[in-house]
Structure 1
C-alpha cells in the first residue's frame, strides 16, 4: 500500500483510537536508530516469501484448532504442508507455533506478545518484523537490542530502514507484508477478528471482551477486505471469520490449493 493511500486509513485509525502521530513518529525514529547497524536487508524477507504459498497465523481463539489439525495429520501430510507453506506468526501466535514444535519463518510483532517466545523465535532464525508505535517505545528499548534477525515497520511515514507496507494489527499487517513481498497465495489461520481475545494474544490475562479490541478487529477486517480488492494473490481463510475476498476452506483443502 502506497503512503498516500495508507495515510487515509491511518488518520481514521488515529482519530478512532486517539493515537498520537508525534508519539508514533518518535517510536519509528527510535527504532531506526537502534537497528542502524543490524537491520536485515528487505530482500532477505522477499526471498522467503516471493512466489510462495503463505499461512498467516493470528492469535485468535481458533489458532489451536488450526495448529492441532496441522500437527495431528499423518507425518507425510504434515511434512508436505511444512515444506510447501511459509509460516508467518502474528506476535503471540509465535508461542503457539513453537510449543507445537514449529519454527515460524517470519514473526510480525509490536512486541506485546510473550517476550520469552519472541526471543526464542529470533534465536531459532525467524525473521522478526518489529513494528513501532507510540505505545511500545519502552518495549522497543528493551527488546530490540536483543534481536538479531530484524526488519522494522511503522504506521507513519516510513524511514530509510523502517518500512510501511500498510496494515494495522499484527495479523492484518502480516498479510499486507506477505502481499508486498510477492506471496502467491495467503491463507489465514487463527484470524477470528471478533471480540474474544485468544489465549496467545497477550502474555497475561485480559478481559474477555474489550471495546478497544472490537474497534481494532473491525479495522483489521476492513483493511483485509480492501487488500482483497487489489491484490493478485489468491486469498483463503481457515478461520471461522467471514472476510470478503477470502475463500473459506477446511484444513483438508490446504494441499489442494493449485499453482
Structure 2
C-alpha cells in the first residue's frame, strides 16, 4: 500500500510543487470550512452505497443510474445534460458557473486546496457559506480531510472509499490520452500519479468490486 507522505514528497519533487503554498491554501480553505462536522454527517447518507465516478473522457450522460451515487471529477461536469450529480470533486479549475448551478440544485461539493488555487478559493468558496466538504493534500489541518488523493479523479475514488462504498465503477477515465486544454507533460505525469493511486486503492479494497470501463482502461 502506498504511503501518502512518501508519495506526496515525490509528487512535489517531480512536478515542482511548492509544499509551502499547498499549506497556505489549506489554511485559507480551512478557515472557510466552518460546518465540517455537520457536513460530514450529511454526506453519510451516501455511506455504503454503490458509486460510479465520472471522468472527462466519456460520452454525454443523459440520465442518472438508479440506486447509484454519482460522483463527478471536476472537468467531467460538462458530460451531464439533464440532471445533476450527487457529488462533484473539484479543485475549482473546471466550469465554475456549472458547478455553482449544480450546488444550488443540491449537489455536494468536495473542494480541494492546493498551492495553485488560493485565488479561486477566495473568490468562489465564500458564497457557499461553509456548505461544502473541504480536502487538502498537505499536512493534516483542522476542518479539512486529507483523502490521500492528488487529482480530482483519484480523490473521488478516495472519497468513495472514505464513505465505505460497496462498489466503485469508473466511467470516462483515460490515463493515456489527457483531456486537457493545456496538453502538457505535467498533465501526463499527473495522470500517471492518478492511475497509481487508483490501482493502489483497488488493491486496498481487498476483493470488493472495482471495475474499469473496458473501452477506457
TM-score w.r.t. the length of structure 2 is 0.92
Of 190, 215, 219, 2:189 maps to 215
Q: Which residue of 1 aligns with 2:3?
A: 5
| Separation (CA, whole Å) in 2 of partners of 1:38 and 1:177 | 15
| Separation (CA, whole Å) in 1 of partners of 2:214 and 2:113 | 27
Answer whether contact 2:73 2:89 (CA < 8 A) is retained: yes
Answer whether contact 1:172 1:224 (CA < 8 A) is retained: yes
Cα distance change on mapping 1:9 and 1:38 into 2, 3 Å: closer
| Residue-by-residue CA offset, 1:216-254 (whole Å, 9 max, x unaligned) | 000011111111111143101226343xxxxxxxxxxxx
Question: Unaligned stretches of 5+ in structure 2?
Answer: none
Answer whether contact 2:91 2:112 (CA < 8 A) is retained: yes
Q: Which residue of 2 aligns with 1:155?
A: 137
Q: Which residue of 2 aligns with 1:236?
A: 211
Question: Unaligned stretches of 5+ in structure 1?
Answer: 72-77, 243-259
Cα distance change on mapping 1:184 and 1:164 into 2, 3 Å: same
Q: Does structure 1 residue 87 correspond to structure 2 residue 76?
A: no
| Residue-by-residue CA offset, 1:15-65 (whole Å, 9 max, x unaligned) | 1101111100000000011222577521222322x22111000112xx216
Q: Which residue of 2 aligns with 1:64?
A: 59
Answer whether contact 1:56 1:87 (CA < 8 A) is retained: yes
Cα distance change on mapping 1:40 and 1:138 into 2, 3 Å: farther
Q: How many residues align?
A: 215
| Separation (CA, whole Å) in 2 of partners of 1:196 and 1:95 | 16
Greater Cα radius of gyration, structure 1 or 2 = 1
What is the correspondence of 1:102-121 to structure 2 with a 5 Å cutoff? 102-121=83-102
Determine helix, strand or coil for the equivalent of 1:13. helix
| Separation (CA, whole Å) in 1 of partners of 2:192 and 2:35 | 37
